[in-house]
Amino acid sequence: MLHTHFEQVQSQAVEQDGAQGVSVRWVIGPDSDAPNFHLRVFDVEPGGFTPLHAHPWEHEVFVLAGKGTVTCAGNQEPLAPGEVVYVPGGDEHQFRSDAEQSLRFICLIPASGTCAPAAPSCGAAPNCSG
């Protein structure tokens, strides 16, 4: 069993093209040897955004704190704490924080997506060997 506090996991800047002010904690990632699902916690600084991107796997997102917007398949909607977002595989998507407030959310992906070429656009996995 792995049991920890998310703040015990080091936050990494997402330095992918198209990302600004984004950091990610792989709270359950490749280092955890979880075979099927990886869980990340993202922090987006005020005015920041994840890259506008798409990949074959879905995202399952739970907003923990802050304000922002999600764009998915051309639709843009506001985000608030407690809200959930399902981004279907293949849909182009982006998460933006509010200009005044940061945005914190959980994002689940399949472990098979972690090391795929498109994965760094959602936050590079630590110790990903391919």
For Zn ion, the binding residues (CB under 5 A) are 122
Judge whether 127 and 30 are in contact, CB under 8 Å.
yes
**Min dist. Cβ of residue 59 to Zn ion (A):** 5
Of 28 and 109, CB closest to Zn ion: 109
Q: How many degrees, rounded to 5, is the angle at CA 27 between CA 22 and CA 69?
A: 35
Of 4 and 86, CB closest to Zn ion: 86
Catalytic residue annotation: 107
Of 9 and 122, CB closest to Zn ion: 122
**Min dist. Cβ of residue 62 to Zn ion (A):** 15
